[in-house]
Amino acid sequence: MGIKKVAMLAVFLTAVVSGGEVSAMAKTKQISKFTHVKVSKRTVSGKTTKYAHVKLTHLKHGEKVGTKADKHGKFVIKVKQNNLTKLKFKLKATKHGFKGQTYTHTVKVTKPVTNNAAVTEQNTVKPENVVKPSTPVSNFTTSGNNQLVINRPSRPVRPSRPRPTAPTTPSKSKEQLIREKKAQLEIAKNAYAKIVVETEPAFAELSLEDYDEEFLVGYQLDIERARLEVQRKLATGNKDEIATAQKNLELAKEKYEKYLPLYLAVDKKFYALREKIRPFANEVNKLARELHILQPDAPYEGINHY
């Protein structure tokens, strides 16, 4: 594996010196956007392009920190003198041959609500709202046949009895909520660790030699270099050199087509296993965020799972 990578790198550098086209193609690449960014008082973590250099800027007290993303693009940066949760800062990712990427962390500021004095209307009684005195109603009326009819008064309506209300449960203290949330988080972390251990044998069976993204990119670059060489030979008009260049292009395509199915098969198995673990990781991070709200000055207790 190591010898193949060194040989591929040597061929790539030769093409850059002679033609320059591949270098120009590489410069058009863009570093991946920052994702999964998590910020606590002294730590910021996230994900971007693998092996990219990540710097934390716009800090107070002249503090300067940075790190390098790992092979999965993950990074963690710690500070000593700044409270990142209350600071507007920027993350800058750079890598040779790539366009840089920037992420800005902003602090939400809640504006105070001003209570405007309510204007009350004068308690004046409008003429149309004045109830006119009712005329006394006689207990006796006459019908059309001049018969005497007794007007009986209606029965008074009984007032409804108030229903007893359920006793209110006293609210829990902040310390009690933190203890309960930590207990829930501990259960979720144990479940996550259990599923990770159960899937370890399946991960070990994957052939990582058939899952090397650098090889895949290297084969693609071989095809483009061979394609450029064909165009150069076509310009010379030499039939033998043209035939040789076209043969090299076909060989480069065959190598890529042979490696691609192996890469895709391992990639499918790899992500199927990761998706099996993901729900447990999501539950841990959900509880960790809720706990961090209760105690924002404490370290974030979530996990990184991509």
- Kindly tell me if the per-residue pLDDT of 204 is higher than 60: yes
- Partners of residue 91 on adjacent β-strands: 56, 103
What confidence tens digit (pLDDT) does each residue in 164-187 have? 666 666 688 999 999 999 999 999
Going by CATH, does the domain composed of 19-107 fall within 2.60.40.10?
yes
Position 1 scores a pLDDT of 46
Cβ-based neighbours of 202, under 8 Å, separated by 6 or more: 269, 273
pLDDT of residue 150: 60
Residue whose pair of structure tokens reads 């899937």 in the numeric block: 199
Name which residue leads in pLDDT, 79 or 140: 79
SS3 134: coil
- Domain-by-domain residue ranges, the chain? 19-107, 175-306
What is the predicted pLDDT for the residue at 235? 94
Under the banding of pLDDT at 50, 70 and 90, the label for residue 129 is low
Residue 143: predicted pLDDT:
54
Q: What is the pLDDT of residue 171?
A: 85
Per residue in 46-68, pLDDT (tens digit) is: 999 999 999 989 888 888 899 99
pLDDT tops 90 at residue 35: yes
As beta bridge partners, residue 142 has 148
Name the pLDDT band for 20 (thresholds 50, 70, 90). Answer: very low
The reported pLDDT for the residue numbered 202 is 85
* Structure confidence at residue 97 (pLDDT): 87
Rounded distance, CA 58 to CA 64, Å? 9
* pLDDT digits 0-9 by tens, 205-228: 876 666 667 778 888 999 999 999
Separation of alpha carbons 280 and 193, rounded Å: 9
Give the dihedral sign, CA 296/297/303/306. Answer: positive
**pTM value?**
0.37
Separation between Cα atoms, residue 287 and residue 210, nearest integer Å: 37
Rounded Cα distance, 178 and 288, in Å:
11
* 50 within 8 A of 73, measured Cβ to Cβ: yes
Q: With bands split at pLDDT 50, 70 and 90, how would you rate the model's confidence at 120?
A: very low
- Is the pLDDT confidence value at 112 over 60? no
Average pLDDT score, the chain: 79
Q: How far apart are CA 121 and CA 154, in angstroms?
A: 38
The predicted pLDDT at position 58 comes to 85
Confidence of residue 269 (pLDDT cuts 50, 70, 90): confident
- d(CA 127, CA 139) in angstroms, rounded, equals 31
